[in-house]
Amino acid sequence: MYDLPRPDRPPAYQLNPLRVRRASLKVAFVLVTGGLLLAVIAGLSGAGLGGTITQVALEAGWWIMLARCLRSEEEELDPSRPWWQATYRPTASFAITAYFAFGIAFATINFMPLIEHLPMDDVLGFAIRQIVNILLGLFYLHSAVRLKIRELRRRADGAGR
107 located within any domain: yes
Residue 10: inside a domain: no
Q: Residues 6 or more apart from 101 whose CB is under 8 A from it?
A: 137
DSSP string, 91-141: HHHHHHHHHHHHHHHHHHHHHGGGGGGS-HHHHHHHHHHHHHHHHHHHHHH
Domain, as residue range, for 82 = 23-157
What pTM, to 2 d.p., does this model score? 0.81
CB contact at 8 A, 104 and 127: no
Number of domains in the chain: 1
110 located within any domain: yes
Q: Which residues contact 145 (CB under 8 A, 6 or more apart)?
A: 90
Tell me whether residue 12 is in a domain: no
Would you say residue 52 lies in a domain? yes
Residue 136 inside a domain? The answer is: yes
Residue 51 within any structural domain of the chain: yes
Question: Could you tell me if residue 95 is inside a domain?
Answer: yes
Each residue's pLDDT, cut to its tens digit, for the chain (161 residues) gives 444 555 555 544 444 567 888 888 989 999 999 999 999 988 887 778 888 899 999 999 999 999 988 888 888 877 778 889 999 999 999 999 999 999 999 999 999 888 888 888 889 999 999 999 999 999 999 999 999 999 999 999 886 55
